[in-house]
Amino acid sequence: MIIILHGAATDQNVDEVVGKLRENGYEANVSRGVERTILGAVGALEEPQKELLAERLTTLPFVERVVPILKPYKLVSREGHPEPSTIPVGDTTVGGRRLCVVAGPCAVESREQILATAADVKAAGATMLRGGAFKPRTSPYDFQGMKEAGLDLLREARQQTGLPIVTEVVDVRDLERVLEVADILQLGTRNMQNFALLSAVGECRTPVILKRGMSATIEEWLKAAEYLMARGNHFVILCERGIRTFETYTRNTLDLSAVPAVKELTHLPVFVDPSHGAGKRSLVGPLSLAAIAAGADGLLIEVHPQPEQAVSDAQQQLTPSEFAVLMSSLRPIVEAVGREV
């Protein structure tokens, strides 16, 4: 349920409501707006106790209204948190006015490759560097990533450029090591419903990009995000990366309708990954523009010094100069939607 307090409610009033919720086994998520304070209560009281508690709270003079939450994802839902969430990462803020562009190779392949890419994407205006050290590959015979050595190279790339690092964790057993380097953890499409991994990442306070499962509905995706938030990690960024459809011309079908849809349903920032969405270099630019127009807070773009020699996702990675052209082409759209890059 959501408890909306009158504008004049004091900190003491908020504490009183939080206390009453805790007595009844609820956790409270407090959101202080300019006009009023809203508390999201998360717990498992059964009817009719739930109704009884709601009635008791309604009688408090500083409570304006108590609203039951109907959505199955309470913490993720906009019902309990009407303001969009912003997530600070390094010097930047995800979900703020500034568009966030995460760029870099699919996989960290060598020192030269990652350091050169990092310098190039930074020069072109990227906000963060991406690169997989642990790679979730469909075939067990494909390159699985440089693992720890890849993490060390990402750390070096951050030292050289100052760019925050986005990198994927594929296994709970690697989490501690990945956390030493990642400014944002990535949970990939194949792990969207790996509930053990979601729960472990939920215990961390490092922001996380949760990619949409390639066959996941929006509701399943939001419930996966709820796993993270229910464990206390409130720094969740959703990322649409294309879903499976009957179409085979593109690698996936980038579901841009998901961007305004999840923005209606949740307060979380939303990114779009047109590289995996399309799987084709030539489509990355147009889809990036469309994603921004649809309201995306950020983009994930694969960039490689020599895409044709990439050990993974060779078809979709941009060259650094293609990326620089893309960055300048974004500007008019970014400005048209009232943002900056």
Please state the closest distance from residue 106 (CB atom) to Mn ion, in A.
3
The residue from 211, 223, 263, 304 that contacts ligand PEP (CB under 6 A) is: 211
Q: How far apart are the first and last CA of the chain?
A: 37
Q: Residue 211 binds what, of Mn ion, ligand PEP, none (CB under 5 to 8 Å, by partner type)? A: ligand PEP
Peptide bond into 48 cis (omega under 30): yes
CB of 127 to ligand PEP, least distance (A): 16
Q: Would you say 263 or 276 has its CB closer to ligand PEP?
A: 276
305 touching ligand PEP, by CB under 6 A: no
Nearer to Mn ion, 95 or 277 (CB): 277
Q: Residue 4 carries which DSSP code?
A: E
Confirm or reject binding of residue 188 to ligand PEP (CB under 6 A). Answer: yes
Q: Does 251 bind ligand PEP (CB under 6 A)?
A: no
Name the nearest CA neighbour of 300 among 158, 167, 169: 167
Nearest residue to 279 (alpha-carbon basis) of 258, 237, 321, 307: 307
Q: How far is the CB of 182 from ligand PEP (least distance, A)?
A: 13
**Helix H or strand E encompassing 14:** helix 11-23
Which part of the chain contacts ligand PEP (CB under 6 A), choosing from 11-19, 93-101, 156-164, 187-195?
187-195
276 binds ligand PEP (CB under 6 A): yes
Strand 92-94 and strand 87-89: the pairing is: antiparallel
Residues whose CB is less than 8 angstroms from the CB of residue 287 and which lie 6 or more positions away in sequence, other chains included: 254, 256, 272, 274, 277, 278
Q: Which stretch binds ligand PEP (CB under 6 A): 63-71, 72-80, 185-193, 319-327?
A: 185-193
Burial of residue 121 (number of CB atoms within 10 Å: 0-12, 13-18, 19+): buried
The yes or no reply on residue 241 touching ligand PEP (CB under 6 A) is yes
Q: DSSP for 64-130?
A: EEEE---SS-TTTBGGG--SPP-EEETTEEETSSBPEEEEE-SB---HHHHHHHHHHHHHTT-SEEE
**96 class by beta-carbon count within 10 Å (0-12 exposed, 13-18 middle, 19+ buried):** middle
Task: Give the binding site for Mn ion (CB under 5 A).
Answer: 106, 313
Q: Out of Mn ion, ligand PEP, none, which partner does residue 80 contact, by CB within 5 to 8 A per kind?
A: none
Pairwise CA distance, residues 286 & 53, whole Å = 52
Nearest 10 degrees: Cα torsion 88, 341, 107, 187: 40
- Residue with Cβ nearer Mn ion (136 or 295): 136
Per-residue CA distances from 250 to 241, 242, 276 (Å): 12, 10, 9
Smallest separation, CB 153 to Mn ion (Å)? 17
- Closest CB to ligand PEP among residues 230, 243: 243
Site string for ligand PEP, 255-274 (x = CB under 6 A): ------------------x-
Nearer to ligand PEP among residue 243 and residue 292 (C-beta): 243
Binder among 106, 178, 278, 318 for ligand PEP (CB under 6 A): 106
Nearer to Mn ion, 29 or 312 (CB): 312
Question: What is the CB neighbour count within 10 angstroms for residue 29?
Answer: 19
What does 81 interact with, of Mn ion, ligand PEP, none (CB < 5 to 8 A by kind)?
A: none
- The binding site for ligand PEP (CB under 6 A) comprises 106, 132, 136, 188-190, 211, 241, 273, 276
